[in-house]
C-alpha cells in the first residue's frame, strides 16, 4: 500500500475504530463508513478484559503481548481524550467444582500465571455468595466502557473528517485489480469491519465462522453493589456509573439483536447461583448482540484471495477488547508493507 492511497473502512465498532485511529496516527487518509452502530456488538458488550476466562483458567495465545498492548492503547486514548475508558477491576472467580479447584491449584504454581492469579479465599468468605470451593481474584483485568469508547473514537474520526454516517451498500463498491471506487472516490485498500454483518458481505461471507448470540441484563440492587466482578460461569460486573451488568448467554440459534425471555431467565438463574438468597434485584435493561467467533478462537485478518485490495479485520469473538488494539497495530504495519500476518489469522485457514 502506498502511503498516499485512501483507505476505506466499513464499520465503526471497536475493530474499525481502533484500526482507523492507528492508521490516522500513521498519516494515512482514512474514510470510515458506519450506519450509527445499528448492529454493533461493541455497543451492547460489557467490555470485559478477563485474562483467565473459560473453564480451564488458561491464558489465551499471545496474551503476553496482546494484554499489555490493549492496556497501553486504552491508557493513551484516555490521555488524549480526557475520558475514563478502561476500568481496572479484580475479577473474583468462584470455583464451581473440584476440577476448577484443581485447575486453580495448578495455575497458582505456574510462574507464567503469577501476574494474573491473586489471593485465594476459602468457602464462606463472601457475604451471601455461594462459593463451596472458595474463590480467587484474577488480576490484570477490568472492563472497557464500550459506549464512551465508541463515542470518543467517533469524535476523533469526525474531527479528522474521516467519518461517513451512512449505510454502506456493497453493490455501490466498484472493485478493480488495484483500486476500489465508492461514492466518486478511489481507494487503494478496503477493510471490512462489519461485525455480524460479515454474513452479508459478498466477498467474505463464505469464510467459516461460528457466530454466537449473547444477552446481558442490567440490574439494580437496593444495597451496595459488589466491589469486584463476581464470576461463576456467568459474571456480575459493577460499573463505575453504579449499574450492575449480568452476562452473558451463549446461543447459536436466532442470531439477531433481540433480547429473549429465555435469555433473561437463564441470566436470573445464574444470579441466584451466585446469590442464593433474594437480594431485591430489579432488571433495568436487557440487550443482545452477536459475537463473530471462530472455531479456533483466532480472529480473521487478511486479504481476499481474488481481490487483494479487499481485506478483513473481524472475528474477535468474545475478546475484542483484549485482542483488537494489538492486532490493529500488526495489521497497520502489514498494510504498510512492514510486516507479515501470522497464518493462524488467515481468513481462509482450514
Ligand X SMILES: Cc1cc2nc3c(=O)[nH]c(=O)nc-3n(C[C@H](O)[C@H](O)[C@H](O)COP(=O)(O)OP(=O)(O)OC[C@H]3O[C@@H](n4cnc5c(N)ncnc54)[C@H](O)[C@@H]3O)c2cc1C
Residues that bind ligand X (CB under 6 A): 10-16, 33-35, 37-42, 44-48, 167-168, 193-197, 214-216, 247-248, 289-291, 314, 316-322
In the complex, minimum distance from the CB of residue 202 to ligand X, in angstroms, rounded to a whole number: 11
In the complex, minimum distance from the CB of residue 41 to ligand X, in angstroms, rounded to a whole number: 4
DSSP of 245-257: EEE---BSSS-SS
Three cell numbers at 219? 440490574
In the complex, minimum distance from the CB of residue 200 to ligand X, in angstroms, rounded to a whole number: 7
In angstroms, the CA 339 to CA 342 distance is 10
- Nearest residue (CB) to ligand X, 209 versus 318: 318
- Nearest residue (CB) to ligand X, 124 versus 345: 345
Three cell numbers at 113? 500465571
Three cell numbers at 282? 430489579
In the complex, minimum distance from the CB of residue 348 to ligand X, in angstroms, rounded to a whole number: 19
- Nearest residue (CB) to ligand X, 188 versus 259: 259
- Nearest residue (CB) to ligand X, 115 versus 211: 211
By beta-carbon distance, which residue lies closest to ligand X?
13
- Nearest residue (CB) to ligand X, 274 versus 301: 301
Three cell numbers at 93? 472467580
In the complex, minimum distance from the CB of residue 163 to ligand X, in angstroms, rounded to a whole number: 11
Give the chain's length.
350
Phi, psi for residue 103 in degrees, rounded to 5: -60, -45
- Nearest residue (CB) to ligand X, 215 versus 329: 215
In the complex, minimum distance from the CB of residue 282 to ligand X, in angstroms, rounded to a whole number: 20
Q: Answer positive or negative: Cα dihedral of 334, 313, 16, 59.
A: negative
Cβ–Cβ under 8 Å, residues 150 and 12: yes
Q: Spell out a b/e string for 28-65, using b for 16 or more CB atoms within 10 Å of the CB, else e.
A: bbbbbbbbebebbbbbbbbbbbbbbbeeebebbebbee
Classify 242 in phi/psi space as left (phi over 0), alpha (psi -120 to 50) or beta: left
Amino acid at each position: 500500500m502506498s502511503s498516499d492511497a485512501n483507505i476505506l473502512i466499513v464499520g465503526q465498532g471497536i475493530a474499525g475504530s481502533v484500526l482507523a485511529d492507528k492508521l490516522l496516527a500513521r498519516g494515512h487518509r482514512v474514510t470510515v463508513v458506519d450506519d450509527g452502530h445499528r448492529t454493533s456488538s461493541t455497543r451492547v458488550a460489557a467490555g470485559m478484559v478477563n485474562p483467565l476466562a473459560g473453564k480451564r483458567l488458561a491464558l489465551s495465545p499471545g496474551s503476553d503481548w496482546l494484554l499489555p498492548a490493549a492496556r497501553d492503547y486504552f491508557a493513551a486514548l484516555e490521555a488524549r481524550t480526557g475520558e475514563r475508558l478502561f476500568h481496572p477491576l479484580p475479577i473474583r472467580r468462584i470455583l464451581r467444582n473440584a476440577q476448577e479447584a484443581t485447575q486453580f491449584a495448578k495455575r497458582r504454581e505456574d510462574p507464567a500465571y503469577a501476574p494474573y492469579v491473586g489471593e485465594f479465599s476459602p468457602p464462606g468468605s463472601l457475604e451471601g455468595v455461594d462459593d463451596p470451593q472458595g474463590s480467587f481474584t484474577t488480576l490484570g483485568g477490568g472492563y472497557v466502557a464500550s459506549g464512551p469508547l465508541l463515542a470518543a473514537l467517533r469524535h476523533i474520526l469526525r474531527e479528522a473528517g474521516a467519518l461517513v454516517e451512512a449505510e454502506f451498500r456493497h453493490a455501490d463498491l466498484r472493485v478493480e485489480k488495484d483500486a476500489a471506487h465508492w461514492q466518486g472516490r478511489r481507494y487503494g485498500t478496503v477493510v471490512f469491519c462489519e461485525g455480524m454483518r460479515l454474513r452479508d458481505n459478498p466477498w467474505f461471507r463464505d469464510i467459516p465462522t461460528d457466530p454466537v448470540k449473547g444477552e446481558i441484563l442490567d440490574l439494580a440492587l437496593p444495597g451496595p453493589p459488589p466491589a469486584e466482578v463476581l464470576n461463576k460461569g456467568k459474571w456480575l460486573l459493577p460499573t463505575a456509573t453504579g449499574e450492575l451488568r449480568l452476562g452473558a448467554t451463549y446461543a447459536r440459534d436466532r442470531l439477531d439483536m433481540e433480547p429473549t425471555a429465555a435469555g433473561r431467565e437463564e441470566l436470573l438463574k445464574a444470579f441466584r447461583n451466585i446469590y442464593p438468597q433474594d437480594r431485591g434485584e430489579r432488571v433495568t435493561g436487557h440487550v443482545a448482540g452477536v459475537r463473530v467467533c471462530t472455531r479456533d478462537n483466532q480472529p480473521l485478518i487478511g486479504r481476499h484471495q481474488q481481490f487483494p485490495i479487499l481485506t478483513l479485520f473481524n472475528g474477535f469473538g468474545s475478546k475484542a477488547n483484549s485482542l483488537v488494539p494489538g492486532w490493529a497495530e500488526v495489521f497497520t504495519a502489514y498494510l504498510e508493507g512492514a510486516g507479515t500476518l501470522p497464518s493462524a489469522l488467515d481468513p481462509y485457514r482450514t
